[in-house]
Structure 1
Amino acid sequence: MSGRRTLQDLADAAGLSLAATSYALRGVRGSPATIARVRQIAEDLGYTVDPIARALASGRTGSVGVSGSLRDLWQQDFSVLLTRALRRQGRYATIADADADPAQERLIVEQFAAQRVDGALVSPVDPTADYWRLLGPDVAVVAIGDALTTRPGSGSVLFDNRYGVQTALAHLAGLGHHRVGLLAPALPSTPGRPAQVLAASVAAALGIELVEISAPAATADAVEVAAALLAGDTRPTAVLCLSDSLAFAVYRAARDAGLRLPDDLSVVGYDDHQLAALVDPGLTTMAWDEDAIVEAAISQLAGAVDDVPTFRPELIVRGSTSPPRPTLSAGGLG
C-alpha cells in the first residue's frame, strides 16, 4: 500500500470495526490485549492520527502549547522532555519561544488561544501578567516554576526558589565570599520573578553584598553584560547565575578578562544542564529532578492530581567554586 494510511486501513488490518479500532487506538475501550494489538498494527503501518479530522469529530484539537525561553539551554532540553511525554500520550505539541520577553509571551498566548489548543505547559516569563487570562477556562494550563497569579484555576508545578537561592548563596558565604554578583535572565519589565526577588533578602541575612544585574537568556548575548559585571577593581569575587546559560557566559567573560576560575572568580549556576559537567572547570550548580517535574506537569495537565507539587534543587559542587583569593592590604604583608 502507498500513501497515507487511514483508519479504515487500520481497521481492516486489525479485523475490527471502525468504531472499535478508534476506541482501541485511543485506549478508551477494549481489552488491554486488543488495545496493544491495534497500537502495534498502527505503528507497523505507519498510521498517524489526522489532528484536523480528530478536531472536527471531537471538537478538540489534541494539541498542547509548550512555551519557554528556548535560547536558554536548560529550557531547550526541558521542552524536548515535555514534548516527548506528550507524544507518548498521543498528543501534539506546539512549541513557542518566549525569548525571555513578556511582549513575545503575550503574542504566544494569543496564538495558543487562536489555535484552540486543548492545554498549555508554560515556563512563564512574567507569571503575574494579565494576558494569561486570554486562555479561557476550557483550556488546561500548567505553569512550571512559578504560579500564574492572575489566572485562577491554572495548575502549577512550583520550584522552591527560596531553598535554591539560599543554598547557593550559603555555599558561597561558607567559602568566604562577601561580594557576590547575581545574574538573572529577566528584563527590567519583569522584576517580579521570585528567585530574583528572594535573592536580595537571603543575601542580606547571610551578610553578602549582592550586585544584581539582568541579562539576555542566551549565552552569547549575555557575555557583554557579564563582562561589565566583572570590570573594575570592585568586581565581585563570586557570581550566582540563575541559569546555567548565564553561567557559561560568565565563563567566557572571565576568560576574556584574564580571570581564572575559581582562583579569581567563583561561579554557581542554577540548572545542572548536561554541559555543566563538561566545561572546565566543572560548574557548581543547582540540579532539578527533570523527569519528576515533567511527570508532575503532565499529570496536572490531565487533571490526574489536585495538589501543587513543589520541587527543591540539589547543590552539585564541582570545580568552579573555591574560597576567594586573599588580597594584600596597602601596607603589604606586615
Structure 2
Amino acid sequence: MSRQHPRRTLQDLATAAGLSLAATSYALRGVRGSPETIRRVRELADELGYTVDPIARALASGRTGSVGVSGSLRDLWQQDLSVLLTRALRSRGRQATIADADADPAQERLIVEQFAAQRVDGAIVSPADPSATYWRLLEPRVAVVSIGDALTERPGSGCVLFDNEYGVTTALRHLAELGHRRVAMLAPSLPSTPGRPSELLAPRIADEIGLNLRVVPAPAATAEAVAVVSELLATADRPSGLFCLSDSLAFAAYHAARATGLRIPDDLSVIGYDDHQLAALVSPGLTTMAWDEDAIVESAVAQLIDEAPAPPPFRPELVGRGSTSAPRFP
C-alpha cells in the first residue's frame, strides 16, 4: 500500500526558491517581483506539486482573493463585460465568481447573500436594482463597485456611471435628423432609477427635439423580446424608428421586423445601445451607441483594488451603420 505524499506548503516552496514567504506568495500570484522570479517560482510550484489552499489562505489573511461579478447575462453586452472583468481581475491576482441576476431583484438578493456567505473580498456588479437595501448585506470590508448606477443604499461604494442623457439625446436626435417623427423606445423591464434613461428621461428629450415617442418595456432576453416587438410593429400606427436600450433588444427587432415583412432600414430604422461585437455582423449593420468597454473595466477594477477615484460619467459614441435611413413615408 503506497504512502500518500504530504501536502506541500508555501514554506516548502519558499525554501526551494530561496525567498521569503511574502516574496514567494507575491511571485506566485504574479502581483510583485521580476518576470524571471515569477516564472521561476511558478515552475518550482509545478515541480513540487504545490497548490494554493484557499481555506488556509483565507484563515491566515482574512481574505479569499475572490471577487463576485454579477449582471444580467441574457443581455449580450453584459456577457462580454463579465468576461472582460474576469480577465482584468485575473491579471491582478484575483479570481472572479460570475453570477447571473437575470434582471430580477429577487435573484440578485440571493446572489448578494451568496457573495456574503463566500466571504468575497470584493464585488463588481451591474445592478438590477441599485436602490435595494440588500446591498448592505455585504460587509463594510468588502469593496463594491457598481457599473451603470450608484448603489444608493450602500454609500461609499465605487461606481462607473454612464452619461445616459447624452446617449439617449444623441440617438433620438439622429432619428429626428433623418426625418423620423413617430419613434418607439424599447427599454429593459428593470426598476427605474435616476441614472437610467427611463420613461421620465426619454420623453422629455423627445419632446424637446419634436419626436412622438412611445416607451415600450421589454424583457432582457432577445428571444422573449421578439414577441413584444412583433406586437408593436403590427399596430396601425407603428413607428418608423426604433431605439433599443441594448443591442440584444435591437437584434430582437431585426427578427420581428423580418417576421412581419418589414425591411430595415426601408420600413423601419433601428438603433442599438451597446455596439456589441455582433452589431457589425448582422445585415444590415446595426447603428448603435458604443461604450469604451476597456476603459469601463479598467476603472471598475482600479476602484476595487487600488481605491482609485470614480471617473466622470462615460459618454457613448454614435456608430453609424446601415440600419438607419430616412423614412419612406415622412
SS at match of 2:254: helix
User: Is the partner of 2:214 in helix, strand or coil?
Assistant: strand
**How far 1:29 moved relative to its partner?**
6.9
Q: In 2 relative to 1, CA 260–124 (structure 1 residues): closer, same or farther, beyond 3 Å? A: same
For the 8 Å contact 1:219–1:245, the answer to whether it is kept is: yes
Which residues in structure 2 correspond to 1:189-204 (within 5 Å)? Answer: 190-192=191-193, 194-196=196-198, 197-204=200-207
TM score, norm. by length of structure 2: 0.91
Q: How many residues are paired up?
A: 325
Among candidates 258, 262, 266, match of residue 269 of structure 2: 266
Per-residue CA deviations over 1:152-190 (Å, capped at 9, x if unaligned) read 000011111111101100100100111111111124xx1
Query: How many Å apart are 1:91 and its aligned residue?
Result: 1.0
Correspondence for 1:128? 131
Residue segments in structure 2 that go unaligned for 5+ positions in a row: none
Residue 286 of structure 2 aligns to a residue in which SS?
coil
Aligned-residue identity in percent: 74
Query: Per the alignment, in what secondary structure is the counterpart of residue 144 of structure 2?
Result: strand
Cα deviation per residue 1:55-109 (whole Å; 9 max; x = unaligned)? 1111111111100000111100110000111111121111110111111111111
Q: 1:86 aligns with which of 89, 98, 121?
A: 89
Distance 1:144 1:239 in 2: 25
1:107 and 2:117 correspond: no
Asked if the contact 1:156/1:309 (under 8 Å) is kept, the reply is no
Residues 101, 111 of structure 2: 8 Å contact kept: yes
CA distance in 1: counterparts of 2:251 and 2:46, whole angstroms: 42
Deviates more, 1:6-15 or 1:176-185: 6-15
Instruction: Say yes or no: does 1:222 pair with 2:237.
Output: no
1:237-280 Cα shifts (integer Å, max 9, x gaps)? 11100000000000000000000000000000000000000000
SS in 1 for 2:185: strand
Q: Is the 8 A contact 1:68 1:75 kept in 2?
A: yes
Question: 2:206–2:212: 8 Å Cα contact kept in structure 1?
Answer: yes
- What's the RMSD between the two structures over aligned residues? 2.4
Distance 1:67 1:28, change over 3 A: closer
**Cα separation, 1, equivalents of 2:311 and 2:286:** 31
Shift of 1:17: 4.9
Q: Is the 8 A contact 2:299 2:310 kept in 1?
A: no
Q: What displacement does 1:46 show? A: 7.8
Structure 2 partner of 1:150: 153
1:296–1:309 Cα contact (<8 Å) kept: no
Which amino acid letter does the alignment assign opposite residue 318 of structure 1?
R
Shift of residue 18, structure 1, vs aligned partner: 4.2
